[in-house]
Amino acid sequence: MGRIIVCGGAIIGLSVGMMLARDGHDITVLEADDADLPANPHESWDCWDRRGVAQFRQPHNLFARFRMVCDQELPGLTDALLRAGCVWINYLDEYSLPPTIDDRSPRAGDEVLKFVTGRRPVVEWAVAAMAAAEPNLTIRRGVRAQALITGASSVAGVPHVVGVRTMCGEEIRGDLVVDAMGRRSTACKWILAAGGRSPIEEAEDSNFVYYTRYFRGPQPPRRIGRALVPMGLFSILTLHGDNDTWSVTLYTSVKNKAMRALRDAATFHRVVAACPMQAHWLDGQPITPVLPMAGILDRYRRFVVDEQPVVTGFAAVGDAWACTNPSAGRGLSVGLVHAQLLRHVARAHINDPGAFARAYDAETERHVTPFYRNQIAADRVRIAEMNALSEGTTPPASNPAIGGLIKAASHDPDVYRAMLETVLCVALPQEVMARPHVIAKMAEFERHALQPEHGIERDRLMCLLDGRTDASPAPLASDRRPRRAGAGR
């Protein structure tokens, strides 16, 4: 068994560390932030200072694929999340199904699409508490790696990584260095400094800006419809959290300067109150101000160039490999899929650095990169739509295949479940649209009109942002009373 260094002690770094430790490897996790693990999950929200995670108190979701990987690779973690106060979510309950679906009866296998979720600090607390008790795993907080150490090459002409050097000059050696440093990873610079070729890198600002507020109450709101809904010039995201908390997020184009008024709590509340299916999510005690976030990069890296690894003895996982606009909430789920893949490749190739690098790259491209590509495509369409509506021009056409899937899913309960698999990272759209039943139903509903989302008309939105009294409230959903989100197992 090998010695493995994991740089980054957040959720994905700790998870991949535990997976590899359970295979008998000796794991050292280096976490730059020096704050100790809080005594309990409640203190994680109130007191945990995680300066290295910019989005630490921004909304997160743990989709069904996250739970599936946990149950396969880290049994016990789902129960640990529940003990910390996280909650079961069911997107197939009566209130979440589209009203156009007549057959609302349960199906065998529906339980696969249920998942457990909570706020990021509480989720990370549960993962870190489990990791702290893991044999073969040592977490060193307050230790920041700053460079790679190289040794004798395993592949001719390719630097081979044999460890890291910390900010204090300490050299820590191992058979594999895993970069789990997230969006802020500087590993590409490390590789160049170590004499490796520059990895392939694609990067662009998604140009979204987010405004989020958290709430608490004795009865979390009942979801009506989808969690993420486009509303024209903005989208609204409503998420249940742990311990009777929840969040509401509005996000829009950073180019729309008028929307900056959403930083103001009263303005934020006026706009949410005008959204008929989400207004009741305001019926709680605010526990934060409006939290803005912008400057989110969509970025992808590949560490095999012209069929040759840029270095060996190194692997990037999760957001350190690729990251996208977080509105879809897939980052942690895709990151855990990537961690699982790393574990499986290490089992086969840990003793052959060249074979490991090539296999990890090939499996990443086959199984994980499609999640990134699909999200980037959706983001580009949505930001272009927001900008066109703001500028008074014609929005771009949507992907016709995805439009066909949405039309069929609006009427057929089984296609709806297939589409939900894509939302929850259980399957890719390309996979579900190749299924015979989905193909047949997409053809059946091809001539149906795609029902437009009911956004807020531009002039009325401007009134809401300005606080003018001529912005009368929209009719609210018939069931506006906040009810306990009974999404039990």
**pLDDT value at residue 199:** 98
Q: What is the pLDDT of residues 334-348, one digit of tens each?
A: 999 999 999 999 999
CA distance 319 to 213: 24
Q: Where are the domains of the chain?
A: 1-60+119-203+299-389, 208-295+457-466
**pLDDT value at residue 70:** 98
Residue 89, classified by CB atoms within 10 Å of its CB into exposed (0-12), middle (13-18) or buried (19+), is buried
CA distance 85 to 421: 25
Mean predicted lDDT score pLDDT of the chain: 93
**pLDDT value at residue 469:** 55
Q: What is the pLDDT of residues 155-183, one digit of tens each?
A: 999 999 999 999 999 999 999 999 999 99
Residue 126, both tokens: 């549960």
**pLDDT value at residue 348:** 97
**Which CATH number describes the domain made up of 208-295+457-466?**
3.30.9
CA distance 62 to 54: 18
**pLDDT value at residue 271:** 97
Q: What is the pLDDT of residues 75-134, one digit of tens each?
A: 999 999 999 999 999 999 988 898 899 999 999 999 999 999 999 999 999 999 999 999
CA distance 90 to 297: 30
Rounded to 5 degrees, what angle do the CA atoms 172, 184, 245 make?
Answer: 110
Residue 173, both tokens: 């050696």
Mean pLDDT of 203-214: 94
Question: Is residue 289 very low, low, confident or very high in pLDDT (cuts 50, 70, 90)?
Answer: very high
Domains 1-60+119-203+299-389 and 208-295+457-466 share a fold: no
**pLDDT value at residue 416:** 97
Instruction: Check pLDDT > 70 for residue 151.
Output: yes
**pLDDT value at residue 473:** 52
Sign of CA dihedral 449, 454, 459, 465: negative
Q: Which residues of 453-486 are buried (b: 16+ CB within 10 A; e: fewer)?
A: eebbeeebbbbbbeeeeebeebeebeeeebeebe
Architecture label for domain 1-60+119-203+299-389:
3-Layer(bba) Sandwich (3.50)
50 within 8 A of 180, measured Cβ to Cβ: no
Residue 109, both tokens: 């296998």
CA atoms within a 13 Å half-sphere pointing along the CA-CB vector of 438: 22
**pLDDT value at residue 397:** 83
Instruction: Check pLDDT > 50 for residue 215.
Output: yes
Instruction: Check pLDDT > 90 for residue 470.
Output: no
15 within 8 A of 127, measured Cβ to Cβ: yes
285 or 327: whose pLDDT is higher?
A: 285
CA distance 325 to 216: 26
Instruction: Check pLDDT > 60 for residue 301.
Output: yes
**pLDDT value at residue 448:** 86
Cα–Cα separations (whole angstroms), residue 253 to 58, 106, 205, 307, 324: 18, 39, 11, 38, 15
471 within 8 A of 274, measured Cβ to Cβ: yes
Instruction: Check pLDDT > 60 for residue 480.
Output: no
62 within 8 A of 333, measured Cβ to Cβ: yes
CA atoms within a 13 Å half-sphere pointing along the CA-CB vector of 271: 36
Q: What is the pLDDT of residues 401-460, one digit of tens each?
A: 999 999 999 999 999 999 999 999 999 999 999 999 999 999 999 888 777 677 888 899
Question: Is residue 370 very low, low, confident or very high in pLDDT (cuts 50, 70, 90)?
Answer: very high
Instruction: Check pLDDT > 90 for residue 154.
Output: yes
335 within 8 A of 317, measured Cβ to Cβ: yes
